[in-house]
Amino acid sequence: MAQLTLSDLPRAVREIVERQPITDMHTHLYSPNMRSPHGPLLLWGADALLTYHYLVAEVMRWSDVEPEEFFGWPVQRQADLIWQKLFIEHSPLSEAGRGVLTSFKALGMDVRSRDLGDLRTALAGVSAEQQVARSLQLAHLDHVVMTNDPFDDAERPFWLSGGRPQAGFHAALRIDPLLRGWSEAVPRLQGWGYRVDGALSGASAAEVQRFLHEWVERMAPLYMAVSLPPDFTYPDGTVASRVLAECILPVCREAGIPFAMMIGSERLVNPALRTAGDALGRAALGYVARLAREYPHNRFFVTVLSRENQHELIVLARKFRNLMVFGCWWFMNNPVIIEDMTRMRLELLGTSFIPQHSDARVLEQVIYKWAHSRAIIARVLVDKYADLMATGWVPERAEIERDVADLLHDNFWRCVGKQP
């Protein structure tokens, strides 16, 4: 058996983490064959990378342009402003700024000239399919889970016409309107022929179940998912509580899929910024414990958006084996916080969690998000294995490979109950 020495450890762990194929369990990417009535759904390329909503929020701090005017510009002009303000007039030290450069570099693009025209030209003639293959290979991903919303008119036609994502892309059935916009969801469901009403009376619950079962059948999702505001709670006498208990959880159980709760997003705190205008809030997580306890036959993926909720969530995961903590979501996806969260999770849960997801909205973001996270995860693991070695416990290479595979790949597939 290959036993490692303390001096071999950092290189060995880095190598193992680099070589481990990852299943990216939450993205906003689309399979390249998915189209809306207006064109392909997948975003990729230099202008899409530069107009990521994380960077839109940052450019607004340096520019006087009104958000409404900015969003009316063609995407190239928006990208020009972001390049000028966040890369030329100031250094791109934020995680989202640095990320663009990490991705460009990995794709073989030379950022030294600082000429955005050159960077755009470097991708000319590349097809979406080629770029998908290249990006997944550079990020070393074997499977990507999308976010698929049956209320989204852009993607509904693809699924309704029997479309299937290409190999390696998997659906996640996202149902936010059922839990955070029921009064708007009702007329839409009615329009599609489901007999529901605002009070969830009569046949409504059965009809929502029928709606969910039909979409499970159509999308074959690996899990069902929702993002919840910080003040969501359960049960609270609202229709949302009943939709959760009477529709969502039973369908997840019958379909054998976990339910993912992404907790703490405060939508449109600044509506003028659109997707860039969301913020976060701390949540009271008592209901997560309650759901895990009262529904032992449901499996829950949970991630929380407030830094202040991280420790509490990890402690809850120690209590409930049907609760799988995942990812460093959105405003948590910064090196300082990823490192802190990963250390805390390892110290309280061992390797029984899923350390990261990319949340990529633009294809090439998987390159930087995973490069940055792999480096942090490796660094933390080196420290933790070194602590073990100080006791005389010498980890074998195969044991480290097993642990890293659990973290970056196998824990997810075990939790969804499927073989990749």
* 316 vs 312: CA distance, rounded Å: 6
CB nearer to Zn ion: pick between 52 and 83: 52
Q: What track of x and - describes contact with ligand FIX for positions 130 through 149 (by CB under 6 A)? A: -----------------x--
CB nearer to ligand FIX: pick between 312 and 359: 359
Structure tokens at 322: 């049907």
What are the distances in angstroms from CA 154 to CA 160, 308, 311, 359? Answer: 11, 36, 38, 19
Q: List the one residue from 275, 322, 351, 352 that touches ligand FIX (CB under 6 A).
A: 275
Place of tokens 């480290």: 400
Which range in 124-132, 215-223, 278-286, 357-365 contacts Zn ion by CB under 5 A?
357-365
| Cα-to-chain-centroid distance, residue 238 | 28
Q: Is 250 exposed, middle or buried (0-12, 13-18, 19+ CB in 10 A)?
A: middle
CB 314 within 8 A of CB 344: yes
List, as one string, the DSSP characters of 372-414.
Answer: HHHHHHHHHHHHHHHHHHTTT---BHHHHHHHHHIIIIIHHHH
Which among Zn ion, ligand FIX, none contacts residue 275 (Cβ within 5 to 8 A by kind)? ligand FIX
Q: Shortest gap between Cβ of 37 and ligand FIX (angstroms)?
A: 22
Q: Shortest gap between Cβ of 197 and ligand FIX (angstroms)?
A: 28
Q: Shortest gap between Cβ of 179 and ligand FIX (angstroms)?
A: 12
Which range in 58-66, 98-106, 211-219, 358-366 contacts Zn ion by CB under 5 A?
358-366
CB nearer to Zn ion: pick between 147 and 204: 147
Should residue 94 be labelled a site residue for ligand FIX when binding is judged by CB under 6 A? no
* 59 vs 414: CA distance, rounded Å: 41
Angle at 355 between CA 341 and CA 403, to 5 degrees: 115
Which range in 197-205, 232-240, 265-273, 354-362 contacts Zn ion by CB under 5 A?
354-362
- 265 C-beta neighbours (distance < 10 Å), count: 23
Q: Shortest gap between Cβ of 102 and ligand FIX (angstroms)?
A: 17
3-state SS assignment for residue 43: strand
* 420 vs 411: CA distance, rounded Å: 12
Q: List the one residue from 361, 369, 372, 409 that touches ligand FIX (CB under 6 A).
A: 361
Should residue 359 be labelled a site residue for Zn ion when binding is judged by CB under 5 A? yes
Which range in 231-239, 340-348, 359-367, 389-397 contacts Zn ion by CB under 5 A?
359-367
Q: Shortest gap between Cβ of 405 and ligand FIX (angstroms)?
A: 26
Q: Shortest gap between Cβ of 359 and Zn ion (angstroms)?
A: 4
Should residue 24 be labelled a site residue for ligand FIX when binding is judged by CB under 6 A? no
Give, rounded to a whole angstrom, the gap between the first and last alpha carbons of the chain.
29
Should residue 330 be labelled a site residue for ligand FIX when binding is judged by CB under 6 A? yes
Residues of this chain that interact with Zn ion (CB under 5 A) are 359
